[in-house]
């Protein structure tokens, strides 16, 4: 089993070198991708690159026996990768976090967009809410965000669940809306979190987000508002 952590494009070349060396010894190998590079560039947009397609083709050419992807951004990754399977640890972490927060029927699981809802809604949480985002067609910047489904009871504790946090602007905005609607506490659960979050406003003391739960797939820096959760690969592969 080979575990691949991506931080820069040069890591893909290192993966190539390692796999070629294993091939020389005729060693069959499975691959675990902690975070899929360019996973958000998962569609054809006129005038832009369909980058995920090229990255998947690169990995396919390495001929791994099996490829496991931890929390891909969309189903497109698994569609493009040969012999691949997605792993969704966030859903396994959620019950323990709910117990820790003493979750009740008036508290809410919040999906920040339809993509997150599609990934997690089959988990069967009745007390879930879904946001809808409107993006600028050229820049991709979020222009508007509103609660499309569900309600927020006064004093509710909310857990926003998604695959990835970058600088955190989307979750900051969602948290502000949830607080305005009556939420008493707002938490963020994301499998992947970029170091950029440290330079944004999401972790400020006046932020509506009480705590961020995430893995070390992309960062290890300590912060009073970040709690890291270990992904136990033996539970999945």
- First-to-final CA distance of the chain: 9
How far is it, in rounded angstroms, from Cα 116 to Cα 161?
A: 7
178-235 pLDDT, tens digit each: 999 999 999 999 999 999 999 999 999 999 999 999 999 999 999 999 999 999 999 8
How far is it, in rounded angstroms, from Cα 59 to Cα 16?
A: 9
126: pLDDT confidence band, cut at 50, 70 and 90? confident
**Per-domain boundaries in the chain:** 2-87, 89-235
Tell whether domain 89-235 is in CATH 3.40.50.11740. Answer: no
Closest CA to 5 of 69, 77, 86: 69
Predicted local distance difference test score (pLDDT) of residue 41: 63
Predicted local distance difference test score (pLDDT) of residue 44: 62
Question: What does pLDDT average to over the chain?
Answer: 91
The CATH architecture to which 2-87 belongs is 3-Layer(aba) Sandwich (3.40)
- Measured CA distances, 235 to 56, 66, 179, 231 (Å): 25, 16, 36, 9
15-68 pLDDT, tens digit each: 999 999 999 999 999 999 999 998 876 566 555 667 899 999 999 999 999 999
Predicted local distance difference test score (pLDDT) of residue 135: 75
Q: Is the pLDDT of residue 140 over 70?
A: no
- Please answer whether residues 85 and 66 qualify as being in contact, where contact means their C-beta atoms are separated by less than 8 angstroms: yes
Q: Is the pLDDT of residue 128 over 80?
A: yes
134: pLDDT confidence band, cut at 50, 70 and 90? confident
Half-sphere exposure of 168 (CA within 13 A, CB side): 28
Strand partners, 97: none
Domains 2-87 and 89-235 share a fold: yes
Predicted local distance difference test score (pLDDT) of residue 47: 54
**High-pLDDT (> 70) share of the chain, %:** 94
66-99 pLDDT, tens digit each: 999 999 988 889 999 999 999 999 989 999 999 9
- Please answer whether residues 145 and 133 qualify as being in contact, where contact means their C-beta atoms are separated by less than 8 angstroms: yes
């Amino acid at each position: 089993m080979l575990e691949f952590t991506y931080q820069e494009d040069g890591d893909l070349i290192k993966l190539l070198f390692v796999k070629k060396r294993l091939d020389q010894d005729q060693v069959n190998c499975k691959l675990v991708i902690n975070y899929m590079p360019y996973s958000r560039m998962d569609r054809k947009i006129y005038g832009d690159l369909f980058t995920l397609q090229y990255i998947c083709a690169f990995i396919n050419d390495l001929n791994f026996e099996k490829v496991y992807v931890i929390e891909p951004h969309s189903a497109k990754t698994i569609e493009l990768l040969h012999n691949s399977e997605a792993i969704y640890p966030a859903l396994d972490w959620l019950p323990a976090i709910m117990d820790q927060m003493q979750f009740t029927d008036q508290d809410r699981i919040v999906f920040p967009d339809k993509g997150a809802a599609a990934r997690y809604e089959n988990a069967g949480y009745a007390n879930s809410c879904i946001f809808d985002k409107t993006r600028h067609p050229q820049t991709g910047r979020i222009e508007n965000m509103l609660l499309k489904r569900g309600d927020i009871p006064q004093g509710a504790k909310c857990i926003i669940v998604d695959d990835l946090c970058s600088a955190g602007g989307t979750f900051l905005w969602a948290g502000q809306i949830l607080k305005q609607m009556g939420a008493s506490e707002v938490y963020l659960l994301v499998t992947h979190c970029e170091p950029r979050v440290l330079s944004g406003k999401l972790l400020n003391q006046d932020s509506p987000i009480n705590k961020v739960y995430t893995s070390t797939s992309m960062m290890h820096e300590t912060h009073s508002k970040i709690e890291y959760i270990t992904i136990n690969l033996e539970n999945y592969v």
